[in-house]
Structure 1
Amino acid sequence: MAVRFRKSIKLAPGIRMNLSGSGIGWTLGPRGASVGISSRGTRLNTSFAGISSSQLISRPRSSAREATARESVNVRMTCSVQSDGQLVFLDTNGEPVSEHLVSLAKKQHKEGLLELIQAKCDDINAEVEAIAEVHLQTPSSRQVPHFSSPTFDIPSPAKPPPLKLRLLDKLLKSRRLKVEAAHRKAVAEYEQQTREWNAEKIEFTRMAEVRRDFIERRIYSDIAAMEIWLEEVLSEIQWPRETDVTFEVMEDGRKVALDVDLPEIEDMPNKIAVVPARGMKLSVKELSATKVQKLYMEHIHAVIFRLIGEVFAALPLTKEVTASGYSQRHHAATGRLQDEYLLSVRVHRDDWQQTDFDHLDQIQLTESLTRFELRRTMSKTGIFKPIEPFGQL
């Protein structure tokens, strides 16, 4: 059975800035409260519970008003931080705006731009951190799968009010018949909706019991259920890079073998960022080849560690997990792309339970697997040589 994992992509936040009307204006702040800066002064705009208000905080000096009037433009532009750390200002046509407007924008909205730069910095560095921290969410092997009873949150149909005839309805037969017919129709619709609601609730309860039986009984006795459950568990993991896993549950669930198609070193992030104390740009630096190699080394160990832990937590009957990770590399003699196994490890549950799952951040990943049966030929800088795995699926 094969499980395919997709990339998890985190989009960085952006900030839009507008220049329009009789001068250049900026709107700062979150929805519901903002500060508007324009040629007419600075106003505090608030909105709460549907009530909006605007308060003038300060007026521009007469000289500033005159200067703004002379420089009045009617343009809208956006700002973004490029991967190299440079700020780029574009108009609605996607064209760069003049240096004069860029300079003015930086002066008027320095704080907002610095926040944008910091957000981009955090986003770049978070990608590097996520690569080496996959293992931090590894569940304890001592936990067992738990069924949480779902709540049927569909409200029951509203019962129509009792028939109530007004004076004209009583006096005029045609009106009375029309009102009575409408009420009968409403009652009939309510009864039909109630039957459907009751049927849906019964089916919901039945499916919940099926799910309870699946988690509390079948994954302890049925190989097919174990495979379905393990696939479900692994598919919910958010991997920072695409990772393919093939697994097999064997010997009534006592053993599980994992074959992991690891990401390539070319998929590793190769940049880190810092916000300089001065200047309005982001400093982006390339990681050295050695650091990228070490990051890759950390990542593939984190992936294997996490998968082993997920199996033990998902399948309480499993006593042994074998995990082998491979990568696609060009053969030195033929140049052809082929699979090469980088590491293979066999772990017994009793040994795995010696792990302190409350302090996974203290684990040295490259050393964490040496406690078990491990096949790996690796240099200190993370260069791997092909190995023969314990067993291929």
Structure 2
Amino acid sequence: MGFRFRRSVQLVPGVRLNLGKTGGSLSIGGRGASLNLGKRGVYGNLGLPGTGISYRERLDRPAHSSSNRAVSATSPEPQQIDAVLRLEDDGSLVLLDADQRPLPESLRKQALQQHAASVMALLEQGLATIQAEQQQLLRPDLQTPPPAKQDNLYLSEPFFEPKPEQPERTSPGLLEKLFSREESREQHYQDALSEYRVAVGHWRAAKANHETRQASARQRHQSILQGDRAASEAQFEERLSRIAWPRATAVDFQLDGTTLHADIDLPEIEDMPRETVKLKKRDYCLEKTEKGPVHLRKDYMTHVHAIGFRVAGEAFGALPALQEALVSGYSQRLSRATGHIEDEYLFSVKIKRIDWEKINFQQLEHIDPVQALERFELRRDMTTTGVFRPIDPWS
């Protein structure tokens, strides 16, 4: 059923997530979590095993006011527990002493009470980061570019490398004349001048290469505006391959005039994350729970429609001359007729540019990709709970 078209691009998985100044970040290899609880303050590291999410921040602020110092001088401070708090694979928190031994239960409770706000802030931040990463996995459509315009001008990239500065010959000072050092000064100048000439040669060569690349890119852009097939297909393939896709995906496509035909080899429902995480405040832990079958099917429903939306968006964003996109998604499923694993199309949508341009690409987080594709000519046989039955795609 798949591979109907002559060009193919493999979309490599590689999710990257940055939540900004107050949020966390997704990084490779993060594992576990820890809080350093002690007299110097509270510092936290959080990582959910298996997700690669890690987060570090100082969670308290030392008091410096004179009133606080006065209180501490007259009132004895409660004993501060020095400990390291770690998030285990099951989401529970373990408190360890300096020798990495578990704290006794009495000291554990005391430490959690002393630093309850900091511990909870760390867990809530970790939960928010995990939820954002899960949303990023499900919704590749959130980074869909707006459609390109036919009158788009090519904006040349500037050449940023500064030109080397020519050394200046300076007049010798009185001491240099007295001690006959003019020749040494002149030699230094000639050496600097030779280095400058070499550097200028490299700079001119780099600038010429940059201008050649820009001229080639400008010509390619003009060819794409005019609907050149080879240039347009290369541009679309390059745009797709630059995306860090959540799951390994493949797209086969072909341009026929101003129409794109694209088939997407979709991820399987088995590739969807099967666990969700919630915060249990009373127990100071993040609890992982298994998603039910309906929840999993709805996640998959959202994900595959989001992929179709993104591929269509990349096509209209890369190809100003494109007027129509026929985007179909298929999956490998067990055929009830033959008992073999076969390609079955789950959806096929025909989108005209004039209709695609009506989408508000500044508000993608408020758009449901399932409902978005339903605005167009959509072939799909799906229940409200995400059960797909095979269909015949647009051709």
Identity %: 34
Per-residue CA deviation, residues 77-110 of structure 1 (Å, 9 max, x unaligned), is 4x34456432244678877555455445423433
SS at match of 1:282: strand
> 2:41 matched to which residue of 1?
26
> 1:387 — aligned with what?
391
What residue is the counterpart of 2:326 in the other structure? 322
- Closer/same/farther in 2, CA of residues 359 and 34 from structure 1, 3 Å limit: closer
**Counterpart contact for 1:18–1:25, Cα < 8 Å:** no
Report the Cα distance in structure 2 between the residues aligned to 1:120 and 1:380, rounded to whole angstroms: 32
Instruction: Identify the residue that residue 226 of structure 1 maps to in structure 2.
Output: 232
1:350 and 1:388 mapped to 2: Cα distance? 25
- Whole-angstrom CA distance in 2 between matches of 1:57 and 1:322: 74
How far the C-alpha of 1:296 sits from its partner, in A, is 1.0
Q: Which residue of 2 aligns with 1:49?
A: none
Which letter does structure 2 place at the counterpart of 1:225? A
Equivalent residue, structure 1, for 2:220: 214
Amino acid at match of 2:112: K
The answer to whether the 8 A contact 1:245-1:261 is kept is yes
The total of aligned residue pairs comes to: 363
Does 2:126 correspond to 1:120?
A: yes
Alignment of 1:10-89 (within 5 A): 10=17, 11=26, 16-18=34-36, 25-28=40-43, 35=61, 59=72, 64=77, 77=84, 79-82=85-88, 84-89=90-95
Measured in 2, the distance between the counterparts of 1:33 and 1:167 equals: 63
TM-score normalised over the length of structure 2? 0.76
In structure 2, the residue corresponding to 1:323 is in which secondary structure?
Answer: strand
Letter in structure 2 aligned against 1:307: V
Give the counterpart of 2:308 among 301, 304, 308: 304
| Cα distance in 1 between the residues matched to 2:356 and 2:146 | 9
Q: Counterparts in 2 of 1:1-393, with a 5 A limit?
A: 1-10=8-17, 11=26, 16-18=34-36, 25-28=40-43, 35=61, 59=72, 64=77, 77=84, 79-82=85-88, 84-89=90-95, 96=102, 98-99=104-105, 102-141=108-147, 143-144=149-150, 147-173=154-180, 175-218=181-224, 220-251=226-257, 254-276=258-280, 278-332=282-336, 336-357=340-361, 360=364, 363-391=367-395
Whether the 8 Å contact between 2:326 and 2:351 is mirrored in structure 1 is yes
Gaps of 5+ in 1: 37-41, 45-54
Please tell me whether the aligned partners of residues 124 and 272 of structure 1 are also in contact (alpha carbons under 8 angstroms).
no
C-alpha distance 231-142 of structure 1, shift in aligned 2 (>3 A): closer
> How many Å separate the matches in 2 of 1:92 and 1:324?
58
Identify which range, 123-132 or 360-369, moves more after superposition: 360-369
Matched-pair contact (CA < 8 Å) for 2:11–2:244: no
Query: What do you get for the CA RMSD once the two structures are aligned?
Result: 3.7
Q: Is the 8 A contact 1:81 1:117 kept in 2?
A: no
Query: What are the superposed Cα offsets for residues 115-146 of structure 1, whole Å, 9 maximum, x if unpaired?
Result: 22012211232234334543344333363555
CA distance in 2, matches of 1:243, 1:28: 40
1:64, distance to aligned residue in structure 2 (A): 4.6
SS at match of 1:329: strand
Unaligned runs of 5+ in 2: 1-7, 18-25, 45-55
